[in-house]
Amino acid sequence: MNINSRLLQDAIDALTLLPGIGKKTALRLALFLLRQPPQTTEKLTLALSRLRQEARFCRQCHNLADDELCAICQNHARDASLICVVESIREVMAIESTQQYRGTYHVLGGVISPLDGIGPEHLNIETLVQRCQNGKVREVIMALNPTLEGDTTAFYLSKRLEGMGLTLTTIARGIAVGAELEYTDDITLARSLAGRQPYQPQ
Q: What is the Cα gyration radius of the chain?
A: 22
Nearer Cβ to a copy of itself, position 8 or 175?
Answer: 8
**Residue 9 half-sphere exposure toward CB, CA atoms < 13 A:** 6
- Secondary structure (H, E, C), 99-155: CCCCEEEEECCCCCEHHHCECHHHCCCHHHHHHHHCCCCCEEEECCCCCHHHHHHHH
Residue selected from 22, 81, 94, 146 as contacting a copy of itself according to rule CB under 8 A: 94
State the minimum distance, in angstroms, from the CB of residue 6 to a copy of itself: 5
Nearer Cβ to a copy of itself, position 58 or 154?
Answer: 58
Residues 6 or more apart whose Cβ sits within 8 Å of residue 2 = none
Calpha distance 114→8 (Å, rounded): 42
State the minimum distance, in angstroms, from the CB of residue 120 to a copy of itself: 20
State the minimum distance, in angstroms, from the CB of residue 126 to a copy of itself: 21
**Interface with a copy of itself, residue 113, by CB under 8 A:** no
Residue 118 · residue 152 · CB < 8 Å: no
Nearer Cβ to a copy of itself, position 21 or 189?
Answer: 21
Nearer Cβ to a copy of itself, position 100 or 197?
Answer: 100
Binding mask 6-35 for a copy of itself (x = CB under 8 A): xxx-xx-xxx-xxxx----x-xxxxxxxx-
Reduced to 3 states (helix: H, G, I; strand: E, B; else coil), residue 85 is strand
Reduced to 3 states (helix: H, G, I; strand: E, B; else coil), residue 43 is helix
* CA 157 from centroid of its chain's CA atoms: 17
**Interface with a copy of itself, residue 155, by CB under 8 A:** no
Residue selected from 22, 23, 51, 167 as contacting a copy of itself according to rule CB under 8 A: 51
For a copy of itself, the binding residues (CB under 8 A) are 1-8, 10-11, 13-15, 17-20, 25, 27-34, 38, 40-55, 63-66, 70-72, 89-90, 92-94, 96-97, 99
